[in-house]
Each structure stands twice: as structure tokens, then as C-alpha cells.
Amino acid sequence: MVEEDSRTVLEAVAESACLAAQQRGQKARALWLPPLPEMVELAGVVEPMGSLKAAVGIIDRPYYQRQDPFVLDFNVGGGHVALCGGPRSGKSTALRSIVASLAATHTTEEVQFYVVDMGGDSQEILSRLPHVVGVAQKKDLGRVHRVFDEVTALVEAGLPHDGRHTFFIIDGWHALATNCEDEVERVTRIVADGAAAGVHVIISTQRWAILRPVIRDLIDYRLELQLGEAMDSLIDRKAQQKIPALPGRGITPEGESMLWCLCSAQDIAHITTISADQPPVSELKVLPDFLPYTDLRYAEGEIVVGIGGIHMASVRWDSDHLLCIGAHGAGKSTALRTVLAGITQRSPRQARVVLVDHRRAHLGAVPEQALAAYSASSLATAEALRNTAITLKERIPGPEVSAEQLRNRSWWEGPEIYVVIDDADLVDPAALAEIVPFIPHARDVGLHVVVAHKSGGINRALYQPFLAGLRDQIPAVLLLDADKEEGAICGMKPMAQPPGRGRWLEQGTEPITIQVASVEKAVERETVGGK
């Protein structure tokens, strides 16, 4: 019995054609490409694209029936990039892919990277690459400041002779703006002037609104992953609404749908291996945890407190007065002893010290011939400051002093008087009141005030007569480890710091991070070495 074939002629022909094509290995051209995959590996995208170009993903172009590589060209404009995306949209992975793609296609003599990771430790793996100078995380703000110091120095130096380009990665703009407010201004300058020095800034942010307009307007590449609110898009709100809720999916500056490639630990390991024959870039220079006073470099007559700043150079105290603030164990007494070491290098005819030391932390720190007075009790302090006030009063110029004498400060003779007060919070305000009237005339009468005060309650204490008068004269300020709850202190935000580490501020300059030299430990080391 023959089975009846219920197929139509069209179905039979189509079936036969498919079978014949399958046997010959042929396939009809698809009118529509499949949608973008959920993930694309870095290795499937990265290939040499030219100098300062990096393939970091694929673009979906259904109209042209193509899926093309998405290439960042850092030769365009200033070569800066801003990437905006909501939580868990893939911002950190995207930044890591940019670094990996550039490192895979450029040598260490062509590019180098500085990375500030304010979101956690997801970028720490990049430190394995020989192209990476250093990675700084939110938990070590001192290292973050050092990254900014070095990048700022590169911008100030201009384009290097070797032509190497520097990429400055900031992952987590919102956290940087919250925890390092003083660095935001430096970012503005780096973005504005970086192009001329071959420095390119790449920033990730959760919302466009928290990125300063002056910075945003200087950035050529604006890219978006899925935002928390599509209406916040600066590229294309309609295209933003169509982005799937998948990590790595976003839109290009032209509003085209794209997928960022995934950079894995294996990719970093592979790039590290193939770059093993290249000389690594210089490591990030960080401040030491311990700095002997004997390691400082200074000219005769200079009072140096430590090292720091952009070039990690010696930090001099040039102001008339100094205010040192910090929590218990932050290194206030160490800082004062270092200052005393600088003062006592001058002859007694040039400088004499009135030392108020209620905790007796500086016994023997000042030679007898340089010591005008030493007090370790309230009664002794009151007497010492009263006698100091008498000496200073004699130096106040009278009506008989000529203009020439005022100009040359020649109407009196004698040494400069340094009133050094450790733990000023323990000193009776009535005793301190003796020298308050002379602080505004300090330069005329040869008075210098050096004060250490605990950070607890400092903002309230700064309105008391003695510290208020000192603050009005704009002293140098050293802010050591202090509680964030105190709020801004002398314009600087307190932060956790290791002993001896602090922010240094002098009139006319920006705050810098320094490490205070230690006289005590230097002496101990010399003694041990002598044995």
C-alpha cells in the first residue's frame, strides 16, 4: 500500500532545496542578523587599530546588517572619555576593558596608566600590567592624593620627549567628589590642560548631573550604559529607553546600541605575559611611613618639617606661625620636635625658644643656650608667657621710630622669639592671653607662635581669643589624622592618616600631603647603629 504524500509542491521543492544546500555546505544570506549576545570576550574584539585607538565592544547596526567593532579614538579632540551608567551597569568592567585593550595593542613606551578606584577593589588587578604606574583605592586616600600629584606634575611638564601618552582613570566620580573635594579642582585643570601634555582622562559616573559642567563640556567622548532614569540621558533618551537591563549594554555617542566587551583575569594575565619583554613603567612614588630627620635636604637657616607635594620635595615652614592639629597619636609632638630641631640650628643670637610642654614630651629637645624659658605647669607657663610679653612690649615701635627704622626693623636688637606650645588645649586661656595683643604685630617684634592642638573640638576652639588671633594671621596649618565628624578644619577635610602623615597648607598655596620627619626615631637609629 502506497502512503499518500500530503505535502504541497512548494513544500516539497523547499525541502529538497534545503537538503541539497545542506549537503553542499551552503547557507542562504540572512536578512536580519541575530541580536547582540549577552557577552563578548575581550579577545574577540581587540586587534591593532592604530595609535591611541582601542576596540572595546561591538555596535549593532541592523540597518546596514552589520555588527562592527566599537573603537575609541583618543586622537580626537582632547582624547577624554566620560562613561555614565547606573549601579551594576558595568562601568568598572568597561573602564578595565579600555585599559586592557590599549595595553594589548601598545607598548609601555607608548602608553602608561594611573588608576583611581573609588568604587572598591575591582581595578586592583590592573596593577599586574607593566603599563600601569599605580592603582589607588578609596581606602588609601593618601595614595589617591599621590596619583593626583604625579598626574598634575605630568600636565605641568608638558608633552614628554619620548611621546608617551598617559591615561588617568577615575572609577567612581561620585565617591571622589565626596571624599576628595579638594581634588575636583585638579581634575578640572587636568582635563583642560592635559591634551597638550598627552594626558587623557577617563571618568565613570552614576549620573551626568554630579559631573561638573566645566569638566563635562571639555570631554569629547560621552558614553552611556543603562541609566537609572532614561530621561537623564545626554545622548538620546529614546535610545536609552531601549537598552536591555544587562551589564555592558549601552549606547555610543551617536545613540547606536552597543555591547562592551568583558575583560577577565585571564585577559589581564595574557596581556601581562605577552608584554613581559617590555620595560615596565615607573612605579607610583608614595610617601614613606617613617622619615628620619637626617634624610631631609635643606639649606642653612631653613626650617623643614618633612617631604611631600607634587615632587615629594622638602617642605619648608616659611610663614610666621604654625598651627598643628590632630587626634591623639597623630604625631603632633613629633611635628613640633622636628620644628624645634630646625629652630635650634640657628644660633641663640638669632632664635630663642619659649617652650610650653605640659606633658613633658620635649625634655632636652632644646639646648640650654637656645632656651629662653621652659614650662611644664600652669604656674610656670603663666610666668614664662608674662615675661615674654614684657620683652615683646619693649619691641613695639614708639612715635620716635623713623620710617627707615620701621622699614629695616632696626629699632630693636635681639633674637627672634619662638613660642612653642604643645597640647595648647591643656593651657589656661588666661596665660595665653598675655601674648594675644602681640600676635598682629608679630613680624615687627620678632614673634613666632607654634601651636599643637587636639582635633577634638578644634572648630570651637578656633573662636577663642588666642587661636582666633593666630588664625587671623594666616599661619601654616598641618592637619594630621582627625575624625571626619569634626567637619572642615581651616578649609581642609579631615581624614584617617597614619602617624606623621598630614595635609599642609600655607598662604597662597593649595593643600599638599606630607610626611613629617621624625627627630626621635632618627636619634634612636643613630644610637643603635653606634652600638
Q: Annotated binding site for ATP: which residue ranges? A: 85-92, 326-333
Q: Maximum Cα–Cα distance for the chain, whole Å?
A: 141
What does the alpha-carbon distance between residue 217 and residue 405 come to, in Å, rounded to a whole number?
56
- Strands 165-171 and 221-225 turn out to be unpaired
DSSP string, 84-122: E--TTSSHHHHHHHHHHHHHHHS-TTTEEEEEEE-SSST
Residue 374 in grid coordinates:
621652659
Q: Where are the alpha helices (DSSP H) in 205-331?
A: 213-216, 237-241, 265-274
Residue 516 in grid coordinates:
613629617
What does the alpha-carbon distance between residue 227 and residue 240 come to, in Å, rounded to a whole number?
8
Whether the CB-CB separation of 62 and 199 falls below 8 Å is answered with no
Three-class SS of residue 176? Answer: helix
Q: How far is CA 456 from the centre of its chain?
A: 25
DSSP string, 404-437: HHHHHT-S--S-EEEEEEESGGGS-HHHHTTTGG
Annotated binding site: 85-92, 326-333
Dihedral sign computed on CA atoms, order 206, 180, 117, 101: positive
Residues in the chain: 531
* Inter-CA distances, 268 with 69, 137, 165, 170, 250, Å: 20, 19, 20, 19, 23
- Strands 53-61 and 257-260 turn out to be antiparallel
* Inter-CA distances, 463 with 98, 326, 436, 492, Å: 51, 17, 13, 17
What does the alpha-carbon distance between residue 158 and residue 154 come to, in Å, rounded to a whole number?
6
